[in-house]
Structure 1
Amino acid sequence: MALARYARWDGPGLPFTIVRTPVPDLGRGEVLVEVDLATVCGSDLHTASGRRPGPAPGVLGHEQVGRVVAVGPGEPRCADGTTVTEGLRVVWSVTASCGECPRCRRGLPQKCVALRKYGHEPLTAARPLTGGFATHCVLLPGTTIVAVPAEVPDEVAAPASCATATVAATLAAAGWMLPWSAGNGRVAARTTTHEPDADRAPADGVGADGGRAVVSGAGMLGLTAVAMLARANAHVVAVDPDPGRRARAVEFGAHEVAADGADLRDADLVLELSGAPSAVQSALAALAIGGTAVLAGSVSPGPAVPFDPERLVRGLHRVIGVHNYRAADLRTAVGFLAATHRDAPFAKLVGGRYRLDDLDAAFAAAHRGPAPRQAVAPRD
């Protein structure tokens, strides 16, 4: 019987334990992927440290790339009708949705009533392969699966499942149709999803080709946002208190940098990706008339942030929250990375190459930085 290995997380402050388990028989619509590379995301760090609640024991990890090694009954299919086949190199969404509940029917599958979330599920002995820090992961029906071109390195592809797709979701929420957006004829990635049509047209108001955009936080998400916006002809201002991060933002295309956003004004678009309460306040204060603020960094408990409702009303402002993402966003993410990885230094953002047995060391290195991500090769 074939065996898989996974890293069991038992709670904040406790070391990971490597566990062997039989590779399960697949149910209808399920797909088994062998993980080639996973990356340690900031939310993994928050969960492991206890800053963000998470079920323990569990299997963390939700940014990864791998290859399909088995397909369950029912011939799982991509959105374009293509059958998922063994050998396909893929990334997959952080969530799996039912496709039938009221939220899914409203176009909010990322908030499905029966949502399953990779790297965030309680451990069950019979079905433990639910996270990226394992040699294998079982993909459930309702998971978006996107094929990755061979020329995109593992270190570049793995973060697509969280960081890159989340940034694509923030820009889609703001109404930006990027050159790599799903549905514009330039993305050839294939998707499996319950959504009948994941493509979206840009909303009225802010759009690509011009405008002043502020990116608050120059970590993995912020640098990705800088690169996307700069290539969409926005004038990009990157805000981060760390001088090293500000310098890196210039490498990714920022036209201006600032240590904080307190004095910034007249922004058509602000993406708040740090989650710092003071940064959220600055983001709202920076908006120009008709401007849009998208908040995606506030994913851990924190203090409430006051805002001026009169300014919002008179300024015709939009304030949007983004959490998780939809199928089209992951497709956009892969299209963006395929198109830009040769001229944007995304590979430099991933440090190390740790074995699964050395996952504690990978997390320690991720806490120290300076690379925004640390790589884990589960089968090394």
Structure 2
Amino acid sequence: MSVTSDTIPVCLARWEGVHQPFALLETETPRTPRPGELLVRIDLATVCGSDLHTVEGRRPSPAPSLLGHEQVGTVIGIGTGGARCVDGTPVTEGMRVVWSVAASCGRCERCIRNLPNKCLELRKYGHEPWSPDAPLNGGFATHCVVLPGTAVVAVPDDLPDAVASPASCATATVAAALDAAGPLSGRRVLVTGAGMLGLTATAMAATAGARVTAVDPDSHRRTQARRFGADTALDTGRESGPADIALDFSGHPAAAQLCLDSLTIGGRAVLVGSVSPGPALALDPERLVRGLHTVAGVHNYRPEHLDTAVRFLAAHHRDFPFADLVAAPHPLERIADAVEAARTGTAPRQALAPNPR
């Protein structure tokens, strides 16, 4: 491969389709990206559950594509006009950053209604068709081109890569869910599903002063939930009691139903995990009306939620064992091993180190 002074070599692990091996490709990219774009060297990428669902054919996705949307990296190139972090800080070369799962246009009716996570021109990292004209649009690569309209947040130096990487999806999504849930202090919070998102929600709710009950059939996950601040961890919801706030991260119909059924007067259910088609739930309209219940859905998140996620991790990553949730990283060429470990391992996240230090 010929590389000029205006380009740098890059490598990516392209997903070819269900039951197909990943293809390791070498190409090059301009040192200076287009106006408003950033070129980021990826220091660590984590394998999200949705990546696994895609590989296994349980989630529709274009093939070929470059998967990955949880990552942390270092800015090495800035396009004309520059970019700013969510808090207004100018992005500079050498800045360590995370970025949102999607880029929004900022102009359509949904963006104007403060729904950039449902932008009519939404472009999602790790979810778009792969093109040789724009090959770096996901996290399973040595570099990523971050588009205009993407939320960018600077990462403090003392926040480990393994803790920062999931912020781009898991932690920010939880921040959005808790935003939808309302005040947490003194509330009885039910969390169904104690995977990466459920454990993060448990820690964030407990830190905010909630009394958290976590429900998960897996005994290891229940043990983890207690380490992340759960007052009670149950294998089923039969004894969970009434909840002021019920959060489902599992996507299992029975768990979502439990969230609806557990609400006390004025209760609020926030459903996050139901991102695939499934059976309808039973919703008693009289109980909803007389109980003053609210049911909300959360998908993707707004820029401020990514900022909240990083701030929380920076403040509390020593209070809870977040680093233990991510396994030791694989090199990019062993992506198949990382995906297999995501399928069979106990760690909620497997990791890739595309640029070993």
C-alpha separation in 1, matches of 2:204 and 2:198: 10
Match of 1:188 in 2: none
Equivalent in the alignment of 2:340: 364
Counterpart for residue 27 of structure 2: 21
Answer whether contact 2:86 2:304 (CA < 8 A) is retained: no
Q: For residue 223 of structure 1, what is the aligned residue in structure 2? A: 199
Q: Is the 8 A contact 2:85 2:154 kept in 1?
A: no
Residue of structure 2 equivalent to 1:78:
85
1:213 corresponds in structure 2 to 189
CA distance in structure 2 between the aligned counterparts of 1:237 and 1:209, rounded to whole angstroms: 14
| Displacement of 1:84 | 1.1
- Mind listing any 5+ residue stretches in structure 1 that lack a counterpart? 176-206
Residue 338 of structure 2 is aligned to residue 331 of structure 1:
no
Match of 1:97 in 2: 104
The C-alpha deviation readout for 1:308-362, integer Å capped at 9, x for no partner, is 1111111100000000000110000000000011121000000131011000000
CA contact (8 A) 1:241 1:260 kept: yes
> Residue 282 of structure 1 corresponds to which residue in structure 2?
258
Give the Cα–Cα distance (whole angstroms) in 2 for the partners of residues 13 and 276 of structure 1. Answer: 25
Equivalences for residues 44-63 of structure 1 within 5 A: 44-63=51-70
Amino acid at match of 2:67: L
Q: 1:144 aligns with which of 147, 151, 155?
A: 151
2-structure distance, mates of 1:28, 1:352: 36
- 1:244 is aligned with what amino acid? H
Tell me, in whole angstroms, the C-alpha distance in 2 between the residues paired with 1:315 and 1:44: 38
Secondary structure at the counterpart of residue 145 of structure 1: strand
Give the SS at the match of 2:329: strand
TM norm structure 1: 0.90
State the Cα deviation string for residues 141-189 of structure 1 (Å, max 9, x = none).
00000000000000000000000000000001122xxxxxxxxxxxxxx
Using the alignment, how far apart are the partners of 2:264 and 2:240 within structure 1?
10
What residue is the counterpart of 2:352 in the other structure? 376
TM-score of the two chains, using structure 2 as the length reference:
0.96
Note if contact 2:86-2:152 (Cα within 8 Å) is conserved in structure 1: no
Is the 8 Å Cα contact of residues 73 and 96 (structure 2) preserved in structure 1? yes
Letter in 2 for 1:17: A
Stretches of structure 2 lacking an aligned partner (at least 5 in a row): none
Say which of 31, 37, 47 aligns to 1:30. Answer: 37
Q: How far did 1:239 drift?
A: 0.3
* Identity value in percent: 61
Q: How far is the alpha carbon of 1:23 from its aligned partner?
A: 1.1
1:316 lines up with 2:323 in the alignment = no
Question: Given the alignment, which residue of 275, 280, 287 partners 1:299?
Answer: 275
Q: CA deviation at 1:47?
A: 0.8
Distance 1:129 1:6 in 2: 8
Task: Show CA shifts across 1:50-83 (max 9, x none).
Answer: 1010111000000000000000011222344432
260-269 or 309-318: which moved more?
260-269
- C-alpha contact 2:42 2:139 (8 A) present in aligned 1: yes
The number of aligned residues is 349
Judge conservation of contact 2:156–2:314 (CA < 8 Å) in 1: yes
**TM alignment of 1:237-252, pairs within 5 A:** 237-252=213-228
**Cα contact 2:14–2:23 (8 A) shared by 1:** yes
Letter in 1 for 2:325: L
Cα separation, 1, equivalents of 2:64 and 2:87: 37
Q: Distance in 1 between matches of 2:244 and 2:90?
A: 42
Extract structure 1 runs of 4+ deviating beyond 4 A.
Answer: none
Q: Which of 121, 143, 147 is the equivalent residue of 1:114?
A: 121
Matches within 5 A, 1:145-160: 145-160=152-167
